[in-house]
Amino acid sequence: MPTRRLTLAEARRVLDAALDRADEIGQPMNIAVVDDGGHLLAFARQDGAILAGIDIATRKARTAVLMRMSTAELGKAAAPGGPLYGIEVTNGGLVIFGGGIPLVGPCGDVVGAIGVSAGAVDQDVTVAQAGVDAFG
């Protein structure tokens, strides 16, 4: 259990930074910010972002907070032959490709996560990282 909760103001700061980065790279995105329990705190779908990305962004954020690691890291562990192979079919469906990153508080506790979807995976990661940087 985290020593503190992610606030709405913090979630909005994370969201706004990610939206700004998506604008900078010219890729409309779906961006979700969740609390430490995986519950949605803030969300935006930019004009032109693909509709399928709404659920994917939310699941990336949820996956990152539940697993306490980025979805990119989880993808490596979930690859065939990996120690977590097949985990993506648990917990109602986890996402195992980049774009979900935990938000870590000052005491090292995961207090939430951001998930981004609608671009190429590297674009999703870039936009999510901008949100993380704004939190830190």
- Order of all β-strands in the sheet with 40-45: 40-45, 30-35, 110-117, 100-104
- Does the pLDDT of residue 125 top 50, yes or no? yes
- Which pLDDT score, from 0 to 100, does residue 2 have? 47
- Which pLDDT score, from 0 to 100, does residue 4 have? 84
- Does the pLDDT of residue 15 top 90, yes or no? yes
Rounded CA gap, 18 and 31, in Å?
7
User: What pLDDT band is residue 136 in, cutting at 50, 70 and 90?
Assistant: confident
What average pLDDT does the chain have? 96
- Does the pLDDT of residue 17 top 70, yes or no? yes
- Does the pLDDT of residue 75 top 90, yes or no? yes
- Does the pLDDT of residue 19 top 70, yes or no? yes
Q: What is the pTM of this model?
A: 0.96
Q: ∠ CA(6), CA(95), CA(74), 5° rounding?
A: 85
User: What pLDDT band is residue 3 in, cutting at 50, 70 and 90?
Assistant: low
Mean pLDDT, range 104-123, rounded to an integer: 96
Rounded CA gap, 54 and 117, in Å?
7
Domains recognised in the chain with CATH numbers: 8-135 (3.30.450.150)
CB-CB contact of 103 with 112 (8 Å): yes
- Which pLDDT score, from 0 to 100, does residue 116 have? 98
Q: What is the pLDDT of residues 30-66, one digit of tens each?
A: 999 999 999 999 999 999 999 999 999 999 999 999 9
